[in-house]
Chain A
C-alpha cells in the first residue's frame, strides 16, 4: 500500500525567501505519480506540480519545483521567492496506474510573513 509522510505540520518563511516542504513516500510499485496540491484558507484544492516515477528530470512549474530523490523516496516541494499568497496548507499525494485514487499526506501549513 502507498503511504505519504509529511513530517512538518507547520513552516514559516519570510517573503521572497525559498522554502522546502518535505514529503516522503512508501511504495513497492515501480510506476507511480507524485503530486502537490495547495489548499488556501478559502478551501479549494489547487494542483501545483506532478512528478512521474520514470521522469528523470525534476518537475518545475513557475516558482514551484519538485526535488525528486527516488532512492530516498522523497518528493520535496521547493517554493522559490515566497509570496504572501503562498500561505496555505500544502498536501503531497501519490497515485499509481490502475488504482486511480490519490493517497494524501497529512499536510504542511505554510505561513509567509512580510
Chain B
C-alpha cells in the first residue's frame, strides 16, 4: 500500500512545454506539500495546502500552479518549462496544520528533465 504516490516518476520534456505532476496520499492527512530538490540535492519547500487551501507559497515563479481538488490530492502544473526547472519534485503529506510539528511523509519523487 503506497502512502504517498506521485506520477509520473520520470518526465522528460522540451523547453516551453506545459506539464503536470500528480500526487495522492491515502494516509488521511490534512496537509500536503511540494518540495523541489535541485542538482546539489538541496531540498526546499514550494507550496503547502491544508484541506484544499493554500497556506504556503514560497517565492515560486507563477509558472508553477498547484491545484488541490480534494485533501487527498495535490497536483503541480508547470507552464512554459525552462531548463532551470530540471529537478526532482517531491510531494509530501502530514496530519495536521496547527499547532503541531507533525512528521511529513514523502512520495517517491518525480525527476523532471527539461531539454
- Identify the A interface with B (CB < 8 A): 31-33, 35, 37, 39, 43-47, 50, 52, 89, 91, 93, 95-104, 106-107
Count of inter-chain pairs, beta carbons less than 8 A: 72
Binds A, one of B18-26, B64-72, B73-81, B100-108: B100-108
Residues of B within 8 A of A99 (CB): 56
- Identify the B interface with A (CB < 8 A): 31, 33, 35, 40-45, 48, 50, 55-56, 58, 88, 90, 92, 94, 97-109, 111
Known: A47-B105, A98-B99. A104 touches B44 (CB 8 A): yes
Partner of A100, one of B44, B55, B90: B55
Known: A47-B103, A95-B101. A100 touches B111 (CB 8 A): no
Bound: A103/B106 CA distance, A = 14
Q: Residue of A at shortest CB range from B94?
A: A100
Q: Are B101 and A97 in contact (CB under 8 A)?
A: yes
Assuming A47-B106, A89-B41, A102-B104, what are 18 further A-B pairs, CB within 8 angstroms?
A32-B101, A33-B102, A43-B109, A44-B109, A47-B105, A91-B43, A95-B104, A97-B101, A100-B50, A100-B55, A100-B56, A100-B94, A100-B97, A101-B58, A102-B43, A103-B45, A106-B40, A107-B41
